[in-house]
Amino acid sequence: QAKEQGRAIYQFYLPQMNERAVARLKIETQLRGALARREFVLHYQPKASLTSGEITGFEALLRWQHPAHGLVPPLKFISVLEDTGLIVSVGEWVVRTVCDQLNKWQSQGLVLHPVSVNLSARQFQQQDLDSVIGKTLEMTAIDPHFLEFELTESVLMKEAEAAANALQNLKAFGVKISMDDFGTGYSSLAYLKRFPLDTLKIDRAFIRDVTTDLDDAAIAVAMIKLAHSLGLKVVAEGVETRAQLDFLIENGCDEMQGYYFSQPLPLERASQALIQGYRLPMGIQTMND
């Protein structure tokens, strides 16, 4: 009977796992083609100052412009890029595209703001991550202060040695480093000391209920104080409501990013936001505003 059961399970799982493996292989092949066919695009989500309301920078976010399925979000393909190592070439394309875009904005006479690029753990396994980035900086001749890299705690945990070296070299170029999704990983305060960070981004998990959940409010306030006492800038992620915004202003958070201000924008609309001087409405809103 056990044998029969075993066979039943075997028969039940095998076709499913095959299907999944085949589906993944299919995505991998498509992703390789996507890079060659230039189907990847970047959207730019603005961040705003919580003191002036002005745009302070953008986060570059990867999308796949699929000929049949339309715009595919990173959730659907980033893990495949990471597992296959394709994230290395795609990541190089992202940095190059952001540097080129900074040059274009500058030649259009627009005021430049830093653009941040996300880095996966897998990219730190590559020996020459920092020198590839250094070459891109040289080739595009952008001011390195306008380039920022965002990495999560899991990167620092998985690739501690490689990350420490690469980050020191990146910092020496003059780029900025930001700790992304802070508080969701294996948060170790030692990371904040050990790695040369400029910015701490509070994960949106703590922002969501910040005005209704006393624990989240306490954690958010503590993170803002922690960042400031370490000399770091602090950015709140996932701000969707006026109430969340007011809480963050009141508690001295430096910057915000989230749908309340803007979704990630296709390039044309990000440029428009710059041209029009798009800004966050500040102060308490009244009926007369």
Handedness of CA 237, 241, 242, 247 (dihedral sign): negative
**3-class state of residue 166 by DSSP:** helix
Binding site for ligand C2E (CB under 6 A): 45, 61-62, 73-75, 78, 87, 91, 94, 118-120, 150, 180-181, 204, 238-240, 257-259, 264
Q: Which does 240 bind (CB under 5 to 8 A by kind): Mg ion, ligand C2E, none?
A: ligand C2E
- In the complex with ligand C2E, the residue whose CB is nearer, 45 or 199, is 45
DSSP labels for 56-110? EEEEEEEEEEETTTEEEPGGGTHHHHHHHTHHHHHHHHHHHHHHHHHHHHHHTTP
Burial 208-225 (b: 16+ CB within 10 A, else e): bebbeeeebbebbbebbe
Min CB(152)–ligand C2E separation in Å: 7
- In the complex with Mg ion, the residue whose CB is nearer, 144 or 264, is 264
Min CB(15)–ligand C2E separation in Å: 31
d(CA 59, CA 286): 31
Min CB(80)–Mg ion separation in Å: 17
- In the complex with Mg ion, the residue whose CB is nearer, 34 or 62, is 62
Q: Which does 61 bind (CB under 5 to 8 A by kind): ligand C2E, Mg ion, none?
A: ligand C2E
Min CB(259)–ligand C2E separation in Å: 4
